[in-house]
Chain A
Amino acid sequence: MTDAVVVEGLIKRFGDTVAVRDVSLTVRSGELFGFIGPDGAGKTTLFRVLATLLLPDAGSARVLGQDVVKDLWALRPRLGYMPGRFSLYPDLSVEENLRFFASVFGTSIEREYGQIEPIYVQLEPFKGRRAGALSGGMKQKLALCCALVHRPDILLLDEPTTGVDAVSRREFWELLARFKQGGLTIIVSTPYMDEATRCDRIALMQQGRLLAVDTPERITGSFDRPLLAVRSDQRYQALLALREYPYTHTIYPFGEVLHYTDQRTDLAAEPIQQELTAFLTGRGLGGVSAERIPATIEDSFMAYLGGAEAARPA
């Protein structure tokens, strides 16, 4: 079997709100697949359907070849699900939580040690500590360990890195890469675009819809015009000036720089660079430069949302 997840025409409503709108996609076996999108995109709802916790209103979803509605009892023991909200027992210790989750699935820490070892060694120094007293990063690792302890064939991780500092976040992704090497299929969601490059393939999601499904490289590679990083000592003034520039297609703040695209799709980057520098310098701005850069996932996401909208003032 090569497809771990097959979703077709999936719709899920809550009252008047359509949380998932006609989503179809396939996740291959052994893939590290990411759903990338802001709050309210429908990621959590979709995960709950895949985890057999919510019934879809229309369409279907098969996980590991089994239907999430009809075959839920056969499917559940094969799933490892980590919800977005911390859902372990805060009053139990690290070790007690782990023993509990193992026993629910009729197994034990000892028997599954081979599976959980890479993560368990990081938790072991704190095994007597109450789960509620762990730092954010350690809580996430414990939750991952509990989701893995029954040797699932697929992992569903809903925003595992939200609210976690950059160091813990990196360690968490390194752990996922190790489990992926072991052949596990991993589906993860995140609102943070920069995590997309950690995945084999990603789905960009907004307001219940898929904007794109592909490898991160192909998604950024399909950005359809030269993207320029514009610098100036007066970033905000430069932004306002470029709003008035007649050839601006999109202009928006992007970290320390501004990202610019031009309306004239047939022009190369070089002449645009020179024009922009001349324009901004002519406006009295200092430290001006413009440099062609590759698009990031965030640039692509905005292009899918309708780039012109991004050029509008706040």
Chain B
Amino acid sequence: MSEGIAIEARELTRVFGKFTAVDHISLDIRAGEIFGFLGANGAGKTTAMRMFIGLLAPSSGTARVAGYDVYTESEKIKRSIGYMSQRFSLYEDLTIRENIRLYGGIYGLAKRDIQARSEQMLARLGMEQSADLQVRSIPLGWRQKLSFSVALLHRPRIIFLDEPTGGVDPITRRQFWELIYQAAAAGTTVLVTTHYMDEAEYCDRISIMVAGKIGAMGTPAELKRRFDAGTMDEVFVRLARPATGAGAGTA
């Protein structure tokens, strides 16, 4: 792997029967970059992500994630990444502290490390006084910040975020983006998938998948210029609308 590259894919392809879900995609995501990985339903985004995190073997092409080969080193990849989804992340009937301990155990951290990192995390989040509250009783915004921090507990080199700020109030949403900036500034690579283009505008760089291929890639400003669009939403619609017409059979 080239120095400073977190994810490197070359002609990566996945075929299911006669259907090519991911069609020869190539990209380099830099270490410390916040990268938005976008696409309409059925564009191949999920399949590509599953290959990146070592859950699905490619049909052809190559990819290295955190320096490891997706064909032969998927276990090492899994240990080098963190994952947070809006839908599921924490156990609601465990306390904040218990959740941290549970995930520390799952990630295989030593007891001593779990202890030390729990205290650091609670202090950073300002949750020391609330550590013994059940997660179900804490506000949504707290939960989100906590699950992000938990996903970073084992200090992964890459973190995958699935619609990280959907449904939260705008202030909490910005506090959450600050946590993301902070992590990226510390060298963690952040991969964001989302349906919401205004969320995509926070990313350093974006790729938009259309029918298995990367339809466009660049900074939000570049893409808006290239497509002569005021917002990422318009960029997305211009790219994806012809594809949804042709691909109506996938509805």
Residues of A bordering B, CB below 8 Å:
37-41, 125-126, 134-138, 162-170, 191-194, 206, 235-236, 239, 252-256, 298, 301-302, 305, 309-310, 312-314
Contacts and interface: CB of A to CB of B under 8 A. Distances in A.
Contacts, number: 111
Given A40-B140, A163-B195, A194-B198, A310 B167 contact: no
Given A136-B41, A194-B198, A239-B181, A305 B237 contact: no
Given A135-B41, A255-B201, A255-B202, A314 B236 contact: no
Contact of B181 (A40, A253, A302): A253
Q: Is the interface of B mostly helix, strand, loop or mixed?
A: helix
B202 A166 contact: no
22 contacts: A38-B170, A39-B168, A40-B140, A125-B251, A135-B250, A137-B41, A165-B40, A166-B197, A167-B237, A168-B41, A170-B233, A191-B166, A193-B198, A194-B198, A253-B177, A254-B174, A255-B198, A255-B201, A256-B220, A313-B178, A314-B174, A314-B176
A256 B179 contact: no
Interface in B151-207: 166-172, 174-179, 181-182, 184-185, 195-198, 201-202
Contacts of A239: 178, 181
Interface in B215-251: 219-221, 231, 233, 236-237, 240-241, 244, 248, 250-251
Interface residues of B, number: 42
Contacts of B221: 256
B240 A167 contact: yes
Interface of B: 40-42, 139-140, 145, 166-172, 174-179, 181-182, 184-185, 195-198, 201-202, 219-221, 231, 233, 236-237, 240-241, 244, 248, 250-251
A255 B220 contact: yes
Contact of A165 (B140, B167, B169, B240): B240
A206 B169 contact: yes
Nearest to B176: A314
Given A125-B251, A137-B251, 10 more contacts: A164-B195, A166-B195, A166-B196, A168-B41, A191-B166, A191-B167, A191-B168, A193-B170, A239-B181, A314-B145
A253 B248 contact: no
B121 to A, nearest CB: 13
Contacts of B175: 312-314
A311 B81 CA distance: 31
A298 to B, nearest CB: 5
Contacts of A125: 248, 251
A256 B203 CA distance: 7
A44 to B, nearest CB: 12
Given A170-B237, A298-B170, A165 B195 contact: yes
B90 to A, nearest CB: 15
A166 B233 contact: yes
Given A165-B195, A256-B202, A302 B237 contact: no
Contacts of A165: 40-41, 195, 240
Given A39-B168, A165-B40, A256-B202, A138 B251 contact: yes
A166 B250 contact: no
Contacts of A168: 40-41, 244
Nearest to B177: A253
Contacts of B250: 135
A165 B237 CA distance: 10
Contacts of A41: 169
Contacts of A301: 169-170
A236 B185 contact: yes
A299 to B, nearest CB: 8
Given A137-B41, A309-B171, A314 B179 contact: yes
A21 to B, nearest CB: 16
Contacts of A138: 251
Contacts of A305: 169-171
Contacts of A164: 195
Nearest to A123: B251
